[in-house]
Amino acid sequence: MAVDNNNLPIPLEHLCGDGEWVSALKQAQEIPLAVLERIKDDASKAFFSIQSNGPFQPYSKIKQLPSEPFVKFVERLTRTIELQVTKEGAQEQILEEMALTNANKQCKATILSLPLEQCQP
């Protein structure tokens, strides 16, 4: 069981921000950083394990609609990739590839007309 900075067990109310821990500042101040990191990691895993109510659609099948703004398409694609790909570095790479591959004709032509320049990190 996790303990707070006073070496007392952390009750569920404390973790949930209920009762005397309704203030986020007080709640966080009394929980050790290692416990907060664990909570963050577990919450992230739980969030990304949630399955949508609708039918499963692989990210590779998400296509930009003819009149859909490119930003809206990328937002839909990003949400799906975040749910299906757990490796963070891979998410960005897949997003770049799928955004170009599945963009509509007009956006694809615009993207391909851009000069190829190497970004300096």
Look up the CATH number of the domain holding residue 102: 1.10.1200.30
Q: Determine if the pTM surpasses 0.95.
A: no
Kindly report the length of the chain.
121
Question: Do both 71 and 108 map to the same domain?
Answer: yes
Question: Do both 68 and 102 map to the same domain?
Answer: yes
Predicted confidence at residue 32, as pLDDT, reads 85
3 state SS of 39: helix
CA distance linking residue 63 with residue 95, whole number of Å: 12
Q: Which domain holds residue 17?
A: 12-49
Residue 75, both tokens: 């937002």
**Minimum mean pLDDT among 7-11, 61-65, 72-76, 95-99: which range?**
7-11
